[in-house]
Every structure is written in structure tokens, then in C-alpha cells.
A and B are shown apart, each in its own frame.
Chain A
Amino acid sequence: AQSVTQPDIHITVSEGASLELRCNYSYGATPYLFWYVQSPGQGLQLLLKYFSGDTLVQGIKGFEAEFKRSQSSFNLRKPSVHWSDAAEYFCAVVPGNQFYFGTGTSLTVIP
């Protein structure tokens, strides 16, 4: 069965530090891959997505993600975190029409 794993439930980083949020999936073929962010009191917003081609994908707000087929991973990165990045981050895997979301990683940014 398809599954999405975000192994880090909660991460705390200092403002200005780099960030990497992990996402691993289990699926026979390469699915479509997404990262969404949910800020406090807000709806989910798409950060970036991977369909095919270049395995390094650029998104909004300075985020990027790298698809690694050999590791079945799609980790999200940002070189320098801002306080406004504090939010919940969800990875999603889409093998067909249905989205399978991970349980999310909560990011806290300290000054």
C-alpha cells in the first residue's frame, strides 16, 4: 500500500539557520510529489511539486526539494529560515488522483 512518512514530528531551528524536512514514500512507481505548508489559522498552501525531469525543484518562499529515486525521498530544504516559516509542513504523494499526505512536521523558529 502507498504510504508517506515524515519521520520528524517537530523541528526547532534558529532564524537564519538552514532547514531540511524529510519525506519518504512507499510506492512502486514514481508518483507526483508535493509539499504543502499550513500556517497557524491558515489553509494549506502549495510550496512546490515534482512531476518529472529535473530532480531539484524550486518553490515559493525560497524553498526547494530534491527527489531521490534511489531513496524514495523528497526532502524539503531552505538555506536560511525566517521567523515567518514557522508552520506545519506536509508532504504528499499522488500515484493517481488521490493524495496521500504525511502526518506533518511542525516547525518552530527561534530568534
Chain B
Amino acid sequence: GAGVSQSPSNKVTEKGKDVELRCDPISGHTALYWYRQSLGQGLEFLIYFQGNSAPDKSGLPSDRFSAERTGGSVSTLTIQRTQQEDSAVYLCASSLGVAGNEQFFGPGTRLTVL
């Protein structure tokens, strides 16, 4: 389909290991967002990419979190030295990038840190 895809759908890792989460946005969408959704919580903004501009990293909770977007398309969210509190569903969304445009969400990656 032409929607936002994320991989893996589930990831179980051990505390202290690094993980990479992938997001493939909708083709042509210049804006890409990462969110974290913890159990019973709303969506916590992590990072926002818009075209070739410097990303808005204001939501990243610590320096263990980083993200890249290569070629203005695929994005990877990396969490280093994972902690149990990192366990959550990580959601990616993309949009056309014009202010107020609808965000289209991927199915998410459920991360469990043991």
C-alpha cells in the first residue's frame, strides 16, 4: 500500500542494547514525525523533519535518542543503551509539510526492554 510503514512491528531487547526503528513515509511527504506512546499516555512528540531543514529535536528525552532521515525519505530512530522506561510504542507519521496538513500515521513499533 501507499501508507506509512514501520519496521519492525515488535522489538524485544535487553537493557543496555541499542535499537534502530525504521519509518518509510508516504512518497512525496516532506514532513516526518516521531512520537512515543507509553501505556495509558498520549502521544509524546520526539522529533520532526521538514524537507532539508534542520530537524526539530526538542522532544527527544535524552541524548541516548537520535534520528536520521536519509534522502528526505526513510527515517531511522536510534535508541542507545536502552532502559526499561524506553518500553513504549514508537509511532511515525508523515505529512505534506504545509502547516496544519493531516498527519498519516504508521502502525508503530512496540519496543519492550527487558
> A32 contacts the other chain (Cβ, under 8 Å)?
yes
| CB-defined contacts of A6 to chain B, threshold 8 Å | 42
Q: Which B residues are CB-close (under 8 A) to A90?
A: 42-43
B76 within 8 A of A: no
- Counted as pairs of residues, one from A and one from B, with CB atoms less than 8 Å apart, the total is 49
Which residues of chain A are near B106, meaning CB under 8 Å?
A: 43
B102 within 8 A of A: yes
Q: What chain B residues lie within 8 Å of A103 (beta carbons)?
A: 41-42
Closest Cβ neighbor of B4 among chain A residues: A43
B100 in contact (CB, < 8 A): yes
Instruction: Check A96–B107 contact: CB distance below 8 A.
Output: no
B97 CB contacts on chain A under 8 angstroms? 97
Say whether, besides A43-B107, A44-B91, A101 and B42 are in contact (CB < 8 Å): yes
B103 within 8 A of A: yes
Contact B42 A94 (CB under 8 A): no
Number of interface residues of A (CB under 8 A): 22
Asked if A83 lies at the interface with its beta carbon under 8 angstroms from chain B, I say: no
Given A32-B100, A43-B91, A44-B91, A98 contacting B42 (CB threshold 8 A): no
For B25, what are the chain A residues with a Cβ–Cβ distance below 8 Å? none
A70 within 8 A of B: no
Q: Which of A42, A51, A99, A104 contacts B103 (CB 8 A)?
A: A99
Known: A43-B108, A90-B42. 6 other contacts (CB 8 A): A34-B102, A36-B105, A46-B102, A97-B48, A97-B50, A99-B103
